[in-house]
């Protein structure tokens, strides 16, 4: 991991006690200057690449991004539920393969 560079201390690192730091009220991006780029490396970088590839597929298939899609919350939850069911099937199949 030659390209790994430790992050500079941000506001979020100044608070070690979760009781005194409202994590749910502070946006991650607020801890860094607007022009700061946090490059993803290693496994995280690979996941980012996969997300970008999936976005391209989605735009080609649906003509829009998830962010711009006007579905109702119920519809988003249904999609997520169906994806979770698919994931359970894939996991069960992999487990069956390992148990052979």
What pLDDT is attached to residue 11? 42
Instruction: Write phi, then psi, for 95 (nearest 5 degrees).
Output: -60, -45
Q: Is the pLDDT of residue 3 over 90?
A: no
Q: pLDDT, tens digit, for every residue of 23-63?
A: 555 455 566 677 777 778 889 889 999 999 999 999 999 88
pTM recorded for the entire structure: 0.53
Please, what's the largest Cα pairwise distance for the chain? 53
Q: Is the pLDDT of residue 10 over 70?
A: no
- Rounded alpha-carbon distances, angstroms, from residue 16 to 4, 22, 23: 24, 11, 11
């Amino acid at each position: 991991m030659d390209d790994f560079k430790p992050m500079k201390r941000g506001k979020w690192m100044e608070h070690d006690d979760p009781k005194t730091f409202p994590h749910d009220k502070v946006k991650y991006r607020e801890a860094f200057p607007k022009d700061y780029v946090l490059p993803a490396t290693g496994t995280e970088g690979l996941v980012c690449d996969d997300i970008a590839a999936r976005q391209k597929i989605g735009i080609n298939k649906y003509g829009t991004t998830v962010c711009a899609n006007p579905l109702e919350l119920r519809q988003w939850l249904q999609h997520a539920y169906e994806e979770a069911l698919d994931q359970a099937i894939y996991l069960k199949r992999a487990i069956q393969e390992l148990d052979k």
